[in-house]
Structure 1
Amino acid sequence: MRLLMLGGTEFVGRAVTDEALARGWQVTVFHRGRHEPAPGVVELLGDRTEAGGLAALDRGEWDVVVDTWTNAPSVVRDAARALAGRVKRYVYVSTGSVYTYPCAPGHDEDAPLVDGSPDAGDVEYPQAKRGGELAVTEAFGDRSLLVRAGLILGPRENIGRLPWWLSRIARGGPVLAPGPRDLALQYIDARDLARWSLDAAERGLSGPYNLISPPGHTTMGRLLEACVRVTGSDAELRWTDPEPILAAGVEPWMDLPIWVPPGEAYATMHEGDVSKALAAGLRCRPVEETVADTWAWLQELDGPPPQRTDRPPLGLDPEVEAKLLRG
């Protein structure tokens, strides 16, 4: 198989590239040159946001293209149109945020969607991803696969969610652990996303798929307890009900990454129906493996973990945490 990876040097894109190389595929990585690509790929340079930025893709044919673009849908539109006659299948890594908020518990791929346009410039994240979906389906029709991921974790994460928890717990001492302890979580390891997406492309699957672990795949308790074990720290998890945390002005998801208390946002993030993807072969590794491998990767870095410049830094102010711990 011949893969064209648009991006491919960070987090999800790198996971797809690594998975394809492990399969013996021929991999071409098109990127801006800001990060080193994986060894063994064909490297093409260009900036999709600039006039003529796709020139390096004027020649070549591939079996599948994978695109993780997050911003202006018009950028996806231009790439899809340019490649429609020379690529068999287009895989677009989208998001569950394309569903109209709030989502009902158990929402599947037929849930109502936000409005979007393939011709839009910079718009909010849900509309950007929906516009990207429309751009791909407009150019590729039933040769398009829409991977609607949710929370993505794993090695090389450049958002800062699991790395923040690992770093905080590694410092030890009392740690504010947002409850309930048995709060069920849904997420997808980037490597499981990569494996399923390439399998699906190879099999010729099309249309939208919610790609996230089954409801209850893990809990906040299992996640944070795994962080304590792999770091080997003396951290003491102090489980705290949502009410005092919220009353202190702490923002779920941002101040306490991953955590969303029960309610509308929780149903949207952690109660999606993934039966379609499971029937199509989705398999999710245990949370303990994701945590351990992410910690091992963090230990290999010479400096702080990478952070996307278009996303704000995450994490709880130590003074706020200390105040909450004091009660």
Structure 2
Amino acid sequence: MRLLILGGTEFVGRAVAEEATARGHDVTVFHRGRHAPPSGVTALHGDRTSPDGLAALAGGEWDAVLDTWSGAPRAVRDTARLLAGRTAHYLYVSSCSVYAWPRPAGADESAPVVAGSADAEQTEYAADKRGGELAALDAFGADRSLFARAGLILGPYENIGRLPWWLGRIAAGGPVLAPGPRDLPVQYIDARDLAAWLVDAAAAGLSGPYNLVGPQGHATMGGLLDACVRATGSTAELRWTDPEVVLAAGIEPWTQLPAWLPAGTELYDALYTVGVERAVASGLSCRPVEETVEATWAWLRSIGGVAPQRPDRPVVGLPAELEAKALGGGA
């Protein structure tokens, strides 16, 4: 299979490039040249936001193109239109955020989505991702476009900082604020499992929307943090603390305590009760949480312990003074 990846040097795009090359596919990555591409790929350079930024894609034919773009939908529009006559299939990594709010617990791909425009400049994340879907749909049609609506993504190469923050905090040792309850179900997908599914989907010519996150019950907050303790070999003490105590300390879920959301909230229902039956039926397979954590820790150590940070995303993590406040109230 001839696969074109728009990006392909960071996180999900890089995981797809590595998965596809490992299977023997012919992979081309189109990127700005800010990061070294994976080995075994053909690299083309260009900036989709610049005039004539797609010049490197003026020629060539591919069986499928993978796009992870999160900015202005018009960048997806322009690229999809350019490639529509020379590429068989457009796979767009979208997001579960495209579903209209509030999203009912357990919602599947039939849930209503937000408004978006393929011609829009960058506005806000959900509308931009929906606009990207519409741009791919307009150029490739329903039968040749796929929308991988991912949830929380973890694993090696993560450039958001969620799992890297937990690993770094737990590796530092001492009492660690562990937001309860311990058995709180969480849904995420390892970037490598997402990559494997995407390569399979490209080969099979799948189309339409798919929610891409681990099945409910696959992991818990306790399982995730326990795995961090084991992977790092830390003597850290996880102090499981009631959600009420955490919130009373002024701590922001999700951002200051990455990947944690209080159960029973609209945001928890939206992000951690996602219906993924369609993806599972199509072959989605998710590795144990221990494998995701161990591989991320190994990668972190290989790059000196400091994860890359996307400039368009806020830095996550809990200030020490807020952790101490919560531990004092919940110990």
TM-score bracket, normalised by the shorter chain, equals: over 0.9
Taking the aligned partners of 2:108 and 2:199, their CA distance within structure 1 comes to 22
Partner of residue 314 from structure 1, selected from 313, 316, 326? 316
Taking the aligned partners of 1:6 and 1:303, their CA distance within structure 2 comes to 27
Mind listing any 5+ residue stretches in structure 2 that lack a counterpart?
none
Aligned to 1:120: 120
The aligned amino acid for 1:212 is V
Residue deviations 1:66-104, cap 9 Å, x none? Answer: 000001000000000000000000000000000012211
Residue deviations 1:200-238, cap 9 Å, x none? Answer: 111111000001100111000000000001101110000
Aligned to 1:198: 199
Aligned to 1:184: 185
Aligned to 2:111: 111
Instruction: Give the number of equivalent residue pairs.
Output: 327
Taking the aligned partners of 2:303 and 2:292, their CA distance within structure 1 comes to 17
Residue deviations 1:113-147, cap 9 Å, x none? Answer: 00000000011000000000000011001100100
Q: Secondary structure at 1:325's aligned position in 2?
A: helix
Within-5 A mapping of 1:83-94: 83-94=83-94
The aligned amino acid for 1:287 is V
Aligned to 2:248: 247
The aligned amino acid for 1:117 is S
* 1:323 to partner: Cα distance: 1.5
TM (norm. structure 2) is: 0.98
Residue deviations 1:145-188, cap 9 Å, x none? Answer: 10000000000100000000000000001000001110001100
Alpha-carbon RMSD: 0.7
* 1:290 to partner: Cα distance: 0.1
* 1:312 to partner: Cα distance: 1.0
Taking the aligned partners of 2:224 and 2:98, their CA distance within structure 1 comes to 26
* 1:303 to partner: Cα distance: 5.5
Task: Kindly report structure 1 stretches of 4+ aligned residues shifted beyond 3 Å.
Answer: none
Q: Secondary structure at 1:259's aligned position in 2?
A: coil
Q: Secondary structure at 2:178's aligned position in 1?
A: strand
Aligned to 1:175: 176
* 8 Å Cα contact 2:153/2:188 also seen in 1: yes
* 1:302 to partner: Cα distance: 3.1
Aligned to 2:147: 146
Taking the aligned partners of 1:83 and 1:154, their CA distance within structure 2 comes to 30
Aligned to 2:30: 30
Aligned to 1:55: 55
Residue deviations 1:277-311, cap 9 Å, x none? Answer: 00000000000100000000011013621000111
Q: Secondary structure at 1:30's aligned position in 2?
A: strand
Identity %: 67
TM (norm. structure 1) is: 0.99
Within-5 A mapping of 1:1-327: 1-141=1-141, 142-262=143-263, 263-302=265-304, 304-327=306-329
